[in-house]
Structure 1
Amino acid sequence: MQQLAGLDASGEWNIPDRLNMARQCLEQDGARTAVIDLSGDRRADVTFDTLTTMTDGLARALQTRIDRGDRVGVLLSQSPWCLAAHLAIWKIGAISVPLFKLFKRAALSSRIEDAGVGIVLTDDEGAVLLGDLAEPWLVETAGVAGGDVPYADTGPEDPAVLIYTSGTTGTPKGALHGHRVLTGHLPGVVMSHDHLGQRGDCLWTPADWAWIGGLFDVAMPGLALGVPVVAARMAKFDTDVCADIIARAKVRNVFLPPTALRMLRAADARISGLRSVASGGEPLGAEMLDWGREAFGVEINEFYGQTECNMVASSCGAAFPAQPGCIGKPVPGHELATLDESGSPSQGEGDVAVRRGSASMMLRYWNRIDETAEKFRGDWMITGDRGIWEDGYLRFVGREDDVITSSGYRIGPAEIEDCLLTHADVATCGVVGKPDPLRTEIVKAYVVLKPGATADAETLQNWVRQRLASYSYPREIAFLDALPMTVTGKVIRKELKARARAELEGQT
């Protein structure tokens, strides 16, 4: 594979002693387009010079109130001002805290209080959401005119951004990242978009920039690589709006979360003109990958990571063929392993782990010394996922606490979900283990059918039984109108597990 951004010729991290992410993003040809803004009624192309001016205005204002290392919230949807807000905070050596517009008061309060945020850069809508939780600064009026603002003298280990997890396995935790985190994302972003940075490339995702997937898989890497980034607000994912954005901005490279892909598939959408499609957050099945080739005309490149250490494995259709059911291969610069019960790397099923030294690895959890220590086993950061190697490819088995033990078999829910999704009547589904006195657990599937679909439980059970092992088909299937989801579109299996336990106890 060719040399990747962020790495030197030998494949080692190319990280200088002094590093500031704002400089990485802004020191480009000032006349080039940085952002294609579709967040308003009209398209506006924002150059790097303009983005720098916006950033410096906010940085000057912040310097009157903010010291190095202080936490500053950013409560903004996709827009040039969202980028300028983060860049301004990093430029003066402070720490940005992304906040999500769809959060309710309790979710905002917990993050603002935990991080010690006093000022939040936002807009009129965000100010209403904040109420009295923090002091809102409206970005379009907060800037102060003047000359250039110098970059703070920061290093790669200096804190820059505090990103809270989505809380799929417990209370959201703040993952504190240093200025090296952007460099740590670059090789995987380039791989997942079949060597991003080619002439005419233009990058977009419907994922909100309040999450690591939107901010560091798309927005900031695009700037750092000089690839125009599209800003387009979508309060709720809509397949027609998605296609329109791609057409209007001439998007060639798109990151589509699995939920978005499933919605596009359910709508039988077809989108042309794309050079690369990347997806991550939860594994896709072979059927979804086959559909993607037909719908987009390109391979869907899966990638893998988490808020604590992102973009560590990826597919790259331009470099090696996809392996059905596998996420991809380790991204150069990141060392991955599956650890056995003794904590040693193994070729069999084990705990997916990343060796210390990955540039995208967090510094620590914010205010959580014990939980930071628990995240590591020696030199390895434990992801909490189970995986297995197949000819150099990583196959995702499931979250450690999602793996189902039934009649002595260990069953990963992802494979069963993928199989159910190949049925024409299934829109989406979630699979969990339900306690059972005989088998320890049985496989229970919660299914959302497409409008007008008529498939019943027996039909879907037979569908899985005929395609997977006889022991892994869902012995129970329940039909729901919707699945519990995190704000990032992941199925909250712990809620499905609680529902299954309650059913067993006769509570529902």
Structure 2
Amino acid sequence: MTVYDERPWLRLYGDQPAEIDAGHRSALEMFRAGLARDPDGDAVRYFDATITRRELDAQSDALASGLLARGFAPGDRVAAYLQNVPQFLVTMLAAWKAGGVMVSINPMSRARELSYLLEDSGATVLVALESLYGEVARDVVPHTGVKLVLTTSELEYQSAPDEGLFAGITRQRHEGTTDLAAFIEEHRGQVPPAVDLAPDDVAFLTYTSGTTGVPKGAMNTHGNVVFTAAVYRDCARFQPGGSVFGVAPLFHITGLIGHIAISFLAPMPLVLAYRFEPGVVLDELRRHRPTYTIGAITAFNALLDHPSFTRDHFASFVSVYSGGAPISPTAEKAFLEATGLQVHNAYGLTETTSPMTLTPFGSSSPVDPTSGALSVGVPVPSTVVRIKGDDGVDLPLGEVGEIVAEGPQVVAGYWGKPEETAANLPGGALRSGDVGFMNDDGWIFIVDRKKDMINASGYKVWPREVEDVLAEHPAVREAAVVGVPDEKRGETVKAFVSLRDGHAVSVEEIIAHCKERMAAYKYPRQVEILEELPKTVTGKILRRELRG
């Protein structure tokens, strides 16, 4: 018996179950159970608007009925090109009720990217914000297989839209499109035929970021979604009686599971604020007093750095998790000091339908004494995480290798890409591409992305370790480290940093700070100070854009 089969981490969950079972066959069944439990409770809170579960059910029934009347068939795909608005949930439920699959599209996608996603997924219906349709989709849709375009507005549902956040946004009707609200009213009262969605049926396609090639559509099944929603409920303690704030974008796997799916399962209201703008988010935290959230640490840092932030903004929260971007021990400590709350770590990928590891609620993640890395948690129940060498063999505890996950949250494969599925998901186990190790208690530590390792004069340098040291400098707000060509060393370490408001520091001071704390081959020889570091919409810093 190997140490992995013994699963030493299970004792860290205390009274939590060793196995997770949400008791539902599909995510739609999960929603309907919450509907039956509290039909007139709030499903969504969006600025000054509220939508009950009963109304969300009625609107999605109408949309599903309308889609079926237009020739939509079970297995067809509906693409959602939306921000964090209530229409996202209506679209998702309607796709399922019509027996179909939802395709979540990053609202930052431009024409080339949108064209690829629509073509690759084979979507026949597009639900888009009017603004995004006019800016991007109008020129793309005619060249795809999309047959029906439904447009809507971020101004919907509200009685008094915020003039700052929505300044300059007006209703725009576009030729060849149908208004979503009018389409729903046309079919209001209609109920689509019952569908029996099985755990292995695909709930949505979520596209990887494409850092190692073209984006791949991960086929997140209903079974995947139900399982990971239950993980948040049982292990992260996102319990009924509160509300979850949608700080992450809904199109991303964190938003799909850590916001929408858990709001269906608990059930609890989901608080939305259109898109992430720190001042607006802080206002909505005060207005709605949510109790749970999960988002990137970069988003939380932006809230803490905002001039209007006070500890009171987080006074209602019970459980706060962070995922999508690494947390340094410095950032964890700063969040605790600013809010009085422990930010818990979570780690997962699109292909694990959100979490594969979590820091159990009420625990703090340990820091590795050698690398200084903060643990990303322990494997969630029903899940086995292994550390494998280049030869595919399990490594002993403490040794660094690729993180590989097996469990009910791992997707069956990539849409239309059998070769990529075979390479990245051999035997149903996900090769994460992340390098890390497991300690004797089952805590997982991520060293870095495998492809980001820097080879400086034959020595391995992992950017994450250098970034954590940079984060300890009081003037540094964010940091990213990459390898750049060097005639003598082959590669050398270059750091990009942004500074905290009101702080000034020289390049020489930053280099000296690292030199005092790291081996000679690790500290950055080059430092560039930027106003902002490039990030994905989910807050993950884009090292590839910094390599030049």
Aligned counterparts of 1:344 and 1:468: Cα–Cα separation in 2: 31
Relative to structure 1, is the Cα distance of residues 224 and 12 closer, same or farther in structure 2, using a 3 angstrom cutoff? closer
| Cross-structure match for 1:462 | 512
Q: What letter matches 2:386 in structure 1? A: A
| Cross-structure match for 2:535 | 485
Q: TM-score, normalised by structure 2?
A: 0.83
Give the unaligned 5+ runs of structure 1. 500-508
| Cross-structure match for 1:267 | 306
Give the unaligned 5+ runs of structure 2. 1-12, 151-178, 368-373
Q: For residues 397-434 of structure 1, what are the alpha-carbon distances to aligned partners after superposition, in whole Å with 9 as ceiling and x for unaligned?
A: 01000122223332221121122122222222210112
Does the Cα contact within 8 Å between 1:20 and 1:152 map onto a contact in 2? no
Relative to structure 1, is the Cα distance of residues 26 and 69 closer, same or farther in structure 2, using a 3 angstrom cutoff? same
Q: What letter matches 2:283 in structure 1? A: D
- Offset of 1:192 from its aligned partner? 6.3
Relative to structure 1, is the Cα distance of residues 396 and 251 closer, same or farther in structure 2, using a 3 angstrom cutoff? same
User: Of the candidates 128, 137, 149, which is equivalent to residue 136 of structure 1?
Assistant: 149
Relative to structure 1, is the Cα distance of residues 364 and 379 closer, same or farther in structure 2, using a 3 angstrom cutoff? closer
Matches within 5 A, 1:144-155: 144-155=187-198
Aligned counterparts of 1:305 and 1:399: Cα–Cα separation in 2: 13
| Cross-structure match for 2:380 | 331
Relative to structure 1, is the Cα distance of residues 227 and 12 closer, same or farther in structure 2, using a 3 angstrom cutoff? closer
Residue 31 (structure 2) pairs with residue 31 (structure 1)? no
| Cross-structure match for 1:44 | 49
- Offset of 1:163 from its aligned partner? 0.8
Q: What letter matches 1:233 in structure 2? A: Y
Matches within 5 A, 1:138-287: 138-143=179-184, 144-190=187-233, 193=236, 195-199=237-241, 201-234=242-275, 237-267=276-306, 269=309, 270=311, 271-273=313-315, 274-287=317-330
Residue 107 (structure 2) pairs with residue 57 (structure 1)? no
- Offset of 1:316 from its aligned partner? 2.3
Q: For residues 1-22 of structure 1, what are the alpha-carbon distances to aligned partners after superposition, in whole Å with 9 as ceiling and x for unaligned?
A: 3676xxxx65155666xx3322
- Offset of 1:182 from its aligned partner? 1.3
Relative to structure 1, is the Cα distance of residues 187 and 422 closer, same or farther in structure 2, using a 3 angstrom cutoff? farther
Residue 120 (structure 2) pairs with residue 114 (structure 1)? yes
| Cross-structure match for 1:503 | none
Aligned counterparts of 1:36 and 1:179: Cα–Cα separation in 2: 22
| Cross-structure match for 1:349 | 400
Q: For residues 172-228 of structure 1, what are the alpha-carbon distances to aligned partners after superposition, in whole Å with 9 as ceiling and x for unaligned?
A: 2111121112123124423664x11153x2101222111111111211211111121
Q: What letter matches 1:130 in structure 2? A: A
Does the Cα contact within 8 Å between 1:293 and 1:299 map onto a contact in 2? yes
Aligned length: 482
Aligned counterparts of 1:366 and 1:3: Cα–Cα separation in 2: 38
| Cross-structure match for 2:163 | none
Name the SS for the 1:365 alignment partner.
coil
Across the aligned residues of Structure 1 and Structure 2, the Cα RMSD in angstroms comes to 2.1
Does the Cα contact within 8 Å between 1:266 and 1:427 map onto a contact in 2? no
Residue 83 (structure 2) pairs with residue 77 (structure 1)? yes
Q: TM-score, normalised by structure 1?
A: 0.89
Name the SS for the 1:447 alignment partner.
strand
Aligned counterparts of 2:456 and 2:117: Cα–Cα separation in 1: 38
Aligned counterparts of 2:26 and 2:98: Cα–Cα separation in 1: 9
Name the SS for the 1:180 alignment partner.
helix
User: Of the candidates 337, 355, 365, which is equivalent to residue 414 of structure 2?
Assistant: 365
Residue 449 (structure 2) pairs with residue 423 (structure 1)? no
Does the Cα contact within 8 Å between 2:230 and 2:265 map onto a contact in 1? no
Relative to structure 1, is the Cα distance of residues 470 and 261 closer, same or farther in structure 2, using a 3 angstrom cutoff? farther
Q: What letter matches 1:186 in structure 2? A: A
Q: For residues 339-369 of structure 1, what are the alpha-carbon distances to aligned partners after superposition, in whole Å with 9 as ceiling and x for unaligned?
A: 01221222210001112xx222222111211
| Cross-structure match for 2:133 | 127
Aligned counterparts of 1:34 and 1:344: Cα–Cα separation in 2: 50
| Cross-structure match for 2:154 | none
Q: What letter matches 1:108 in structure 2? A: L
